[in-house]
Structure 1
Amino acid sequence: MADAKLWILVGNASRARLFATDAKAEKDWSLVEEFHHEESRAKGDDLRDQPDNPNAGTLHGPPGENEPNGRKELEHERFARELSGVLDKGHDRHAFDKLVIAAPPEFLGRLRKALSTRVRQRVLLDVGSDYSTVPARDLPERVPLL
């Protein structure tokens, strides 16, 4: 991984942080961008009452918004697709060579499903833990890069 550009995505279904580093400075992470998806934090009933935020599910997608937690699951999937789009753009700009992802197991699964093949091929490691509230200065000690 000599001189490789490495991106580290740390998050959960409602917030994420994207960091960059290289093989020579694995402990020196710089913040690339932060992401927030407030709809993922809202209660299911509150989401159903938002007329400006319609269900974008498909017939073969997640449960309908009227099912328990259905709308919340839709929002989690939307956020996973949003993050996947950011990673696609980064890949297209050659901003990273390898990718490490740390997220709770359920969201990690959604994110894996949303990743394009070209980004999936760059995944060096994925960690099934929620480090979204860990201060940035402590993340290099928590998230393994090898």
Structure 2
Amino acid sequence: MNTKIIPYNARVLVSDAKKALLLRNTGTAFNLTLEVEQVIEAPKNAPTHEQGTDRPGRTATGSHRSSVGQTDFHELEEDRFSAMIAEKLEAICEENDIDKLFIVAPPKALADLRQAMPEAVKRRIVAEYAKDLVNLPVQEIEKHLSF
């Protein structure tokens, strides 16, 4: 984590596919003091087998028949959550004039966030860290992000 220093008043988004914390550094660059500004939680997302009741479809092309893969409703909901986070983050960045943003998320969630983020937010990102810290207390997150 020592590649970038998180300066005073920078924002840190700690997220996964179900929960996101927007934190602000109210301390110094070398003595992080993160405060929670916003907590965003995804709506309940049942497993795919509970969401889809039909069997996968079949398709016929000429004399060939093949099955169609089952839709992963659980993953679709996670993608929607990433898009919602990106949308809210864009509004927050513009509203609060945020110019430095650090993103911390597991690799899959980080990729989903990257894909969903508008260019205006991408320009504000200083660093990205592929770590799953969202379920830790804020003091533990501080330890992981500081020297």
The 5 Å alignment of 1:1-146 reads: 5-21=9-25, 24=28, 27-40=32-45, 42-48=46-52, 67-68=69-70, 70-143=72-145
* Count, aligned residues: 128
Query: Which range moves more in the overlay, 107-116 or 67-76?
Result: 67-76
Gaps of 5+ in 2: 54-67
Q: What TM-score does the superposition give when structure 1 sets the normalisation length?
A: 0.76
More strand by share: 2
Deviations 1:5-29 (A, max 9, x none): 3111112101111101257365111
Runs of 4+ more than 2 Å apart? 1-5, 22-26, 46-49, 66-69
Contact persistence 2:82–2:116 (CA under 8 A): yes
RMSD value, Cα: 2.5
Q: What TM-score does the superposition give when structure 2 sets the normalisation length?
A: 0.75
Structure ID, larger Rg:
2
Gaps of 5+ in 1: 50-65
> How far, CA to CA, are the matches of 2:20 and 2:130 in structure 1?
14
Name the counterpart of 1:52: none
- 1:113–1:70 CA distance, 2 compared to 1 (3 A): same
